[in-house]
Structure 1
Amino acid sequence: MVSNDYVHGYSEREASRLCDQANTLEELLHSDTKYPAGSKVLEAGCGIGAQTVILSKNSPGAQITSIDISGESLNLAKKRAASEGVKNVEFSVENIFDLPFDEESFDHIFVCFVLEHLKEPVKALSNLRRVLKSGGTITVIEGDHGSCFFYPETEEAVKAWNSLIEVQARLGGNSLIGRQIYPLIKQAGFSDIAVSPRMVYSDSSRPHMEEGFVRRTIIPMVEGVRENAIETGILDADTFDRGIEDLHRTAAEYGTFNYMFFKGVGRK
C-alpha cells in the first residue's frame, strides 16, 4: 500500500525542490542509466517528472511509460516534459500495486525515490517484476536519512533532521530504506543484483552542492515536515526553527554536509 500522505506534500515549493534535487544529482545518480533505442521502459512513480526528463535525455530512442498515482503530479510532469521538448514519454495515472499492463510488457523498469513512501516495498517490486520481460532489468534508487552527517552538528539540528525520519515513519514510509535496497530486490525475486552507494559531499569549495543540494534540496525537505512534527509533539516550534537555522550553517563557509544514496540494479 501507498502511505496515506506523501510526507513532503504537493506544494509548488516541493515541486521546485524535486527539480533542484534531480538537476543537482543528475551526474551522480543517472550518468550510468541509459537504455537502448527501441526498448520499452516503465518509470514507476514519476511524480512531477523531475527524473523523467533526465531519463528521456539519456535514452532518446527508448519508449518510456511514466506512471504515478497522483493525477496532480502527473499533470505537472506532462507540463515539465513538454517544456523540455520530451517526445518519447507517455504518462498515465496508475497504482503500482494494480498495474494494468500485461506480463512481460517492458524491457526495463526504473524506480527512483518511491519505495521509501510505500508500506509494502517488496510487494511493489514483485508486482513490477510481473510486467518485466525475462532478462530485463530493474533499477532502484533510494536515499537513506540515517546516512546523514554534517558539521557543525548541534543538538537542535539533529533533532530537526530526526523529526523528518519520525514523521515519515508515522505516515507509513521508511526514510532509512536505502540500506535495504539489496535485500528488497532479492526478496522480490530478482537476480544478478548489484548495489552501489553514491555519496554526496558538500563544503564551500563546492558551491553547486551547497546551493543545489543543502540549501535547495535538504533544508526545504526538513522544513516541509515542520507543521506535522510540531502538531504531533515530535518537536516544539522553537527547537525545530533553531535546528533549521543550524542546518543552514552546514552550507556556510566552514560547514560540511554528507549524505548517501543507494542505486541497485537487478535482473529478472
Structure 2
Amino acid sequence: MTLGYVHGYTPRETRRLGDQAQTLSALLHGGSALPAGARVLEVGCGVGAQTPHLLAAAPGVRVTALDVSAESLVRARERLSGHPGRDRVEFVCADLFDLPPAAGLFDHVFVCFVLEHLAEPVLGLEALRALLRPGGTITVVEGDHGSALFHPPSVYAEAVVAALVRLQARDGGNALIGRELQPLLAAAGFTGVDVEPRTVYADRSRPHLVEGFVRNTFIAMVESVRERARAEGIVAPADWERGIADLERTAEDGGTFHYAFFKAAAANPPAPGAVG
C-alpha cells in the first residue's frame, strides 16, 4: 500500500528535494556503476530531483521514472527539460502496487526515499523484484531520523524531530526505516544484501553542508509538518518554535549536526535451475 506523502506537495517541498539531491549527490550515488544500455526503473521519482544525478552516475542507462503523483511528474519533466540525458528517460504515472505484469523487464531498480512511505515495504520490494530480470540488481537508499545527533543538545529540538517520526508512523510509514534495509530486502527474496551507512556531518567548517543539508534539507523537512503537529497537539506552539530555533542553533558557530543514510545493494536470484 502506498501512503500519502507526509511532507506535502508544495513548491517549498520541491525546492527542498532539489537542495537535498544536489547537496548529497556524491554521498548517495557514489559507487554506483551500471553498464551503458541498462534498463533502470527509478521508483518514486517524485519531482525528478534524483533523476539527473542517477543519469550522471550511470551514463548510457535508460531510465523509466515512476511516480504515483501526476503533479510531481509535471515538475519532473520540467526539471529534465533541456538535460542532455532527457531522451533516455520515460516518465510513467502509476502505483508500484498496481503495475501490469512485466517480469524481467528491468536490469536494475533504484529506490530512494520511498520505502519510508510504504505501509508494507516488503510487499513493495517483492513487487519490484518481480520486475527485475534474474540476476538483476537493486539499490535502495533510505534515511533514519533516529540517527540525527546534534550540538548544542536540546530536548525541544529532539521533540520536533520526534513529531515528524510520530506523524509518519500515524500515516503507516516509518521514518526510522534505514536501519531495517537488510532484513527487509532479505525478506523480499533478494540475495547478497550489502548495506553501507552514508554519514553526513556538518559544522561551520563545512558551510555547503550546513546550508544544503542542515538548513535546506533537514530543518525544512521538519518544518513541513509544523501545522499538522500543532493542530494534532503533538507539540505545543511555543515548544515548536523553540525546537526549530534550537535546530537552527546547530547550524551556527559552535554547532554540529550528524545524520546517517543507509545505501543497500542486492540482487534478484537466478531462477531455479538456471545455468550460467
TM tier, shorter chain? over 0.9
Tell me the distance in 1 between the aligned counterparts of 2:169 and 2:82. Answer: 35
1:61 to partner: Cα distance: 0.8
Instruction: Please name the residue that 1:190 is paired with.
Output: 190
CA offsets 1:19-44 (integer angstroms, 9 cap, x no match): 00011101111021232111100011
Tell me the distance in 2 between the aligned counterparts of 1:145 and 1:251. Answer: 17
The worse-fitting range, judged by mean Cα deviation, of 115-124 and 81-90 is: 81-90
1:87 to partner: Cα distance: 2.5
Tell me the distance in 1 between the aligned counterparts of 2:47 and 2:33. Answer: 20
1:224 to partner: Cα distance: 0.5
CA offsets 1:143-182 (integer angstroms, 9 cap, x no match): 0001111001112111111111111111111000000000
**Residues 40 and 106 of structure 1 are in contact (CA less than 8 Å); yes or no, is this contact kept in structure 2?**
yes
Tell me the distance in 1 between the aligned counterparts of 2:101 and 2:25. Answer: 29
**Residues 103 and 130 of structure 1 are in contact (CA less than 8 Å); yes or no, is this contact kept in structure 2?**
yes
Paired residue secondary structure (2:60):
coil
Which amino acid letter does the alignment assign opposite residue 129 of structure 2? R
Instruction: Please name the residue that 1:20 is paired with.
Output: 19
Instruction: Please name the residue that 1:132 is paired with.
Output: 132
1:99 to partner: Cα distance: 1.5
Instruction: Please name the residue that 1:55 is paired with.
Output: 54
Tell me the distance in 1 between the aligned counterparts of 2:112 and 2:158. Answer: 26
**Pair 1:226-2:226 in alignment:** yes
Instruction: Please name the residue that 1:69 is paired with.
Output: 68
Tell me the distance in 2 between the aligned counterparts of 1:260 and 1:196. Answer: 10
Unaligned runs of 5+ in 1: none
Instruction: Please name the residue that 2:206 is paired with.
Output: 206
Tell me the distance in 2 between the aligned counterparts of 1:12 and 1:191. Answer: 39
Instruction: Please name the residue that 2:10 is paired with.
Output: 11
RMSD between aligned residues: 0.9
Tell me the distance in 2 between the aligned counterparts of 1:259 and 1:36. Answer: 31
Alignment TM-score, normalising by the size of structure 2: 0.95
Tell me the distance in 2 between the aligned counterparts of 1:33 and 1:81. Answer: 21
**Pair 1:32-2:31 in alignment:** yes
1:83 to partner: Cα distance: 4.0
1:101 to partner: Cα distance: 4.7
CA offsets 1:192-226 (integer angstroms, 9 cap, x no match): 11000011000011001000000100111011101
Instruction: Please name the residue that 1:78 is paired with.
Output: 77
Which amino acid letter does the alignment assign opposite residue 147 of structure 1? S
Which amino acid letter does the alignment assign opposite residue 17 of structure 1? R
Instruction: Please name the residue that 1:42 is paired with.
Output: 41
**Residues 34 and 55 of structure 1 are in contact (CA less than 8 Å); yes or no, is this contact kept in structure 2?**
no
Tell me the distance in 2 between the aligned counterparts of 1:91 and 1:148. Answer: 34
Which amino acid letter does the alignment assign opposite residue 55 of structure 1? L
Instruction: Please name the residue that 2:260 is paired with.
Output: 260
Identity over the aligned pairs, expressed in percent?
52
Correspondences of 1:123-202 after superposition (within 5 Å):
123-202=123-202
**Pair 1:116-2:116 in alignment:** yes
Instruction: Please name the residue that 2:217 is paired with.
Output: 217
Tell me the distance in 1 between the aligned counterparts of 2:155 and 2:133. Answer: 49
Tell me the distance in 2 between the aligned counterparts of 1:29 and 1:88. Answer: 21
Q: Structure 1 residue runs of 4+, over 3 Å off?
A: none
Alignment TM-score, normalising by the size of structure 1: 0.98
Paired residue secondary structure (1:97):
helix
Tell me the distance in 2 between the aligned counterparts of 1:240 and 1:196. Answer: 33
Paired residue secondary structure (2:173):
coil
Tell me the distance in 2 between the aligned counterparts of 1:114 and 1:254. Answer: 34
Which amino acid letter does the alignment assign opposite residue 16 of structure 2? R
